[in-house]
Structure 1
Amino acid sequence: MTGSMHLLEAAGARFLLDAGLFQGRRSATRTLNARVPFDARRVDGVVLSHAHIDHAGRLPLLVREGFHGPIYATPATRDLCAVMLPDSAHIQEKDFEYLRRTGKAGPDSEPLYTMADALAVQDLMIGVPYRRITHLRKHLALELVDAGHILGSATLDLRITEGDNRRIVFSGDIGRSGLPIIRDPEPPSGPVDALIVEATYADRAHESVAEAERKLGDAVRRTAARGGKVLIPAFAVGRVQELIYSLHQLHRGGKIPEVPIYVDSPLAVDITTVFRMHPEVFDHREHLIASGAELFDFPLVRYVRDVEQSKALNAARGPAIVIAASGMAESGRILHHLAHGIGDHRNLVLIVGFQAEHTLGRRIQEGQETVRILGQEHTRRAEVETIGGYSAHADRAELRAWVHRLGGQVRRAFVVHGEEPALGAMATLLKDEGVREVHVPGHGEAFDL
């Protein structure tokens, strides 16, 4: 379901809608990610829905293969990419170095892309504010609408005025109503000729954000009482900041004990700085801006950059909360904390986001007794709990409400970005909402609009 990328040919131009990396089992995803399935030099531009790596992570590869066109995104997405893509390049280079060192790299193999490729992307990015019409070509216009998924996320509204006027809407990832910090998702209005829509959680319902916060408080109190650590793999953009916000509220309300909270991720620290740069996209703007620096800073929170400080957390005794990337526990410092802590029955591994198939996070979430971390097998003795209310993806009811607000004016729809049960559920939902023509495209499938 990862690796979001759609090629649109319209008005004499070729534009990509997203350019994301496939994530999951490395042996499978490396082949999928190795090349883009078209000539990158013939792509005129990219429109980016948001900065998550499964939507933006192949931008450096495009540059590596000869792309040099404009990349349109909200200013917040542009600034997040300036942090996240170099981090992704660092991971690619480290992975390649590991393969080379262990003799698993072929003689002609190379990193998927390099730091230079990632830095080159930033020179191509153009910041486009929400609700401003931007002309990509003479007969092709773009409007970005707040998708409410993460900071700067957008639904792409494209209008083609060559011949018959046509409108194509790409949902990107649709967020949830009522999440802290960012605004609620806003669907575009009016008739839509082709809707490309995500289906991540179309087959299930989330608990409320209030219930998620209550469960978070319970988890912290329970784990602290037995002297354990709460280990939270968390997406550096969005999830880390939401957790800090919720922990702040719980602490102010006297609902959690005085335990230190460590944000052990240089990437998350940098991304939190980007959040501070963009209060214009916050929800309840006046309230949050009035909070000032307190939004992400309070006495219990400590941001960790230094490697030695990170290592020291594993030796530290007593209760603590450790929040670290990556969100699916496939890379980053969370791996070291899991390796040291998953065998301790006092600890809790708290899953607060989507875990793709074949990822370490998914294996832990499913309760596997033995998991492989950093090349070694570990027996899991730590408690595992999932809190679904912090998901940044709309659930079935929220997706239905989003589609319903289009007023039954969608001529045809294409369901993407979901595992098999969710794709089918979303297709059924769309038909129930009056969309007569619904497709679930296969990888590489093309349609004439």
Structure 2
Amino acid sequence: MNITFHGAAGTVTGSQHLVEVNGRKIMLDCGLFQGKRKEAFERNRHECCPAGEIDCLVLSHAHIDHSGRIPCLVKNGFDGNIFCTSATRDLCEVMLMDSAFIQEKDVEFVNRRRHKKGQRLFEPLYTRGDVTRAMQQFIGIGYNRRHQLLPGIHLTLVDAGHMLGSAHVLLDIDDNQTGRQRRLVFSGDIGRPGIPIIRDPVPITDGADILIMESTYGNRLHPPYPESEREMERIVNDTVKRGGSLLIPAFAVGRTQQLVYTLHKLHSNGRIPDLPIFVDSPLATRTTDIFRLHLELYDADVREFLLTDDDNDPFGFGRLQYTMAVAQSKALNSLKVPAIIISASGMLEGGRILHHLRNRISDSRNTILITGWQAPNTLGRRLVEGEQTVRIYGEEYPLRARVETLTGFSGHADREGLLAFVRNMNNRPRHTFVVHGEEESSASLAQALRDELNLDNVIVPEPLQSFPL
């Protein structure tokens, strides 16, 4: 067996790991690299595995840093099956279409400038037509349903509790080279118990021989979710008292739905004022519809809420509006009363959120609330780090709005949750690879696995590094 780390090694984005065993090649995830635009542009085009050599792909969940290069893989010749949960398949259909649309528009904008300068024109990484072809290769399977992936290799998906449809990937392999059965576990993104909407992550009590695990928050702890709910209440009320609006950049899938559900509860219980709330993201609106289709994946708290709530919809209530049309989005910039606006993208790297930010960032009455991890070199990271002047669409704006950060809404396990994921294994892994984290987070978690859980052979792989096992 050989494992090569083509992405999310030494960084959080671009998850992509290649497992070679019994003469077959299995890819785990195929995500977009996110970061500096020029670097991301190059890496997303040139750091994909040889597509025609891959037998099949297993996708842990739909977030774009795990799924976003799948159409590129298909475009380059991959014709195998893509295995994931049904909810992940449904989410990918809208998310990858949205990704393709953005890429087409971005390339169209850049090419107008390049054409005037007589420079070579770019092509998008993939188009909506490529997405349509890729979706025909998806196969949705249920949690805990053992499925033969290839001869001698069986796949089981276990609820990871990170977002709708997310999974831990279990590969039970009859290894021809060693003559032994080996279990490889790929954690995907490990969720947190007690966060709203989705169920808690399911532990892998049987353990693993080989473990590939994420480390996004490998050196940090989250406050308990109820504490973050109270902080949300405080931030809303303080902003309204100043006569300002609350602007929340949020990932369209998962985070937006959590925020809407939390605001719904706060509004229903009279804990925040009766003010207009807008979700200004077409992708978030479409993915929320998919959330409504998968009630079977909700946790007990949401099911109980549905029994008592007059609106009978965790993602919809009287003061909440979903805006789709561009004219509706533009009209929000003329609001003269306090409001809450939730919009994508979550790292402020594109989308409608930038228009709202440009309109509100220099007004001290307003608040910008960051609720998710911000990649290095993104506008969101610069705000979190306290830059006083930021560039939006080529123009500089002074930061006068208040910036608040809430990590309690994170769908990622923190340091203790990551250690608990391994601690719950009756059979501890012989080989552990720590991925999907910034260098400091990955190194800290790797050391804790050695010191606190006495694991041997804990490695933080470098990009494109291979390991024969």
Q: Could you tell me which residue of structure 2 aligns to residue 353 of structure 1?
A: 372
Match of 1:7 in 2: 18
The answer as to whether partners of 1:11 and 1:137 remain within 8 angstroms in 2 is no
- Distance in 2, matches of 1:154 and 1:77, equals 9
Q: Match for 1:159 among 172, 181, 191?
A: 172
The structure showing larger relative contact order (alpha-carbon pairs under 8 Å, at least 6 residues apart) is 2
Tell me, in whole angstroms, the C-alpha distance in 2 between the residues paired with 1:191 and 1:211: 32
Confirm or deny: 8 A CA contact 2:51 2:76 kept in the other structure.
yes
- 1:226 and 2:237 aligned: no
What do you get for the CA RMSD once the two structures are aligned? 1.4
**2:145 corresponds to which residue?**
132
Q: How does 1:158-237 map to 2 (within 5 A)?
A: 158-162=171-175, 163-237=179-253
Select which of 123, 147, 163 maps to 2:136: 123
Aligned to 1:340: 359
User: Unpaired runs of 5+ in structure 2?
Assistant: 1-10
Aligned mates of 2:19, 2:445 — CA distance in 1: 22
2:430 alignment partner in structure 1: 411
Find the aligned partners of 1:362 and 1:190 in 2 and give their Cα distance: 39
CA contact (8 A) 2:197 2:299 kept: yes
Quote the Cα distance in structure 1 between the aligned partners of 2:354 and 2:345: 8
Q: Which amino acid is 2:33 matched to? A: F
1:312-358 CA distances to partner (integer Å, 9 max, x unpaired)?
Answer: 00111110000001111111110110011111111100000000000
The TM-score normalised by the length of structure 1 is 0.98
The aligned amino acid for 1:173 is: D
| Cα pair distance change 1:223/1:121, threshold 3 Å | same
**1:35 Cα deviation from its structure 2 partner:** 2.7
Query: Which of the residues 410, 417, 423 maps onto 1:398?
Result: 417
Deviation digits for residues 133-185 of structure 1 (CA, Å, limit 9, x no counterpart): 01011111000011110100000000101321011000000011101100111
Provide the secondary structure at the position in 2 that maps to 1:295: coil
Q: Which amino acid aligns with 1:446?
A: S
* 1:310 paired residue number: 329
**Does the 8 Å contact 2:48/2:73 carry over to 1?**
no
Query: Which residue does 2:33 correspond to in 1?
Result: 22
Q: Map 1:81-92 to 2 at 5 A.
A: 81-92=92-103
1:448 corresponding residue in structure 2: 468
1:251-276 superposed Cα distances (whole Å, 9 cap, x missing partner): 12211001110000010000000000
1:288: Cα distance to partner?
5.2
Residue 37 to residue 269, structure 1, CA distance change in 2 (3 Å): closer
Aligned 8 A contact 1:155 1:172 in 2: yes
Residue number among 277, 288, 291 corresponding to 2:293 in the alignment = 277
Q: Which residue of 1 aligns with 2:62?
A: 51
Instruction: Give, in whole Å, the separation in 2 of the partners of 1:328 and 1:92.
Output: 17
Which range moves more in the overlay, 408-417 or 41-50?
A: 408-417
Q: Return the alpha-carbon distance in structure 2 between the equivalents of residues 289 and 346 of structure 1.
A: 35
Q: Deviations for 1:355-394, whole angstroms, at most 9, x for unmatched residues?
A: 0000111111111111111221111111100011001110
Correspondence for 1:433 among 447, 453, 461: 453
Following superposition, which runs of at least 4 residues in structure 1 exceed 4 angstroms of deviation?
A: none
Structure 2 match to 1:110: 123
**Contact 1:176/1:392, CA 8 A, preserved across alignment:** yes
Gapped regions of structure 1 (runs ≥ 5): none
Residue 155 of structure 2 corresponds to which residue in structure 1?
142
CA contact (8 A) 1:202 1:423 kept: yes
TM-score norm. by structure 2 comes to: 0.93
Q: What residue number does 1:64 align with?
A: 75
In percent, how many aligned pairs have the same letter? 50
